[in-house]
Every structure is written in structure tokens, then in C-alpha cells.
């Protein structure tokens, strides 16, 4: 049998992750992306702040602008 974390520890992790999630509604033309020298990207949402762009968000951005994921990733690597 595989050994993992207890149900209590799992519940704590789920609750901690839930508290970190935030949803915002903003017109896409108002959003700005900032890419640092280390190629880490952050999304700037007016009146809300700046947030890191995680892998799932990159996938969603590629889908939204109708760019194949492989090409999107190649463009990210080339910046």
C-alpha cells in the first residue's frame, strides 16, 4: 500500500489552496502581462493587482487567443 498524507493533512491542504484562489472579471483589453528577465510572467489586473501566471493560465491564454499550445510554448521560450 502506498503511504501518503493523512486525511486531516489533505483537508488542510485543500482548505489552504481554496483560500488562495481568486476570481476576477475584467475586460481583456485592460489586462497587461509583464514578463521578467527570468521569463516568469505576471498578469496585471487594473484595481486588483499583479498576479503570477501559472501553467494552467498559460494554457487558457493560448486557447483564448487561438494559438496552438506547442507554438505558444515555443514563443514563450524564445522571448
Taking only the tens of pLDDT, the chain with its 79 residues reads 457 888 899 899 899 888 778 888 889 899 999 988 888 899 999 999 999 898 898 999 899 899 999 999 998 888 6
Is residue 52, in this structure, part of any structural domain at all?
yes
Q: Write out the residue range of the structural domain in which residue 41 sits.
A: 25-78
Which three three-digit cell numbers place residue 9? 493533512
Count up the domains in the chain and report the number: 1
Burial of 34 (0-12, 13-18, 19+ CB in 10 A): exposed
Q: How far lies 79's CA from each of 5, 54, 61, 73, in Å?
A: 39, 17, 16, 10
Is residue 17, in this structure, part of any structural domain at all?
no
- Three-state SS for 71? helix
Phi and psi based region of residue 35 (left: phi greater than 0; alpha: psi -120 to 50; beta: remaining): beta
Is residue 35, in this structure, part of any structural domain at all?
yes
Amino acid at each position: 500500500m502506498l503511504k501518503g498524507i493523512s486525511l486531516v493533512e489533505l483537508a488542510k491542504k485543500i482548505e489552504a489552496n481554496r483560500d488562495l484562489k481568486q476570481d476576477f472579471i475584467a475586460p481583456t483589453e485592460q489586462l497587461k502581462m509583464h514578463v521578467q528577465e527570468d521569463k516568469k510572467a505576471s498578469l496585471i489586473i487594473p484595481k486588483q493587482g499583479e498576479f503570477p501566471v501559472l501553467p494552467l493560465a498559460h494554457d487558457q491564454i493560448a486557447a483564448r487567443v487561438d494559438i496552438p499550445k506547442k507554438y505558444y510554448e515555443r514563443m514563450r521560450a524564445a522571448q
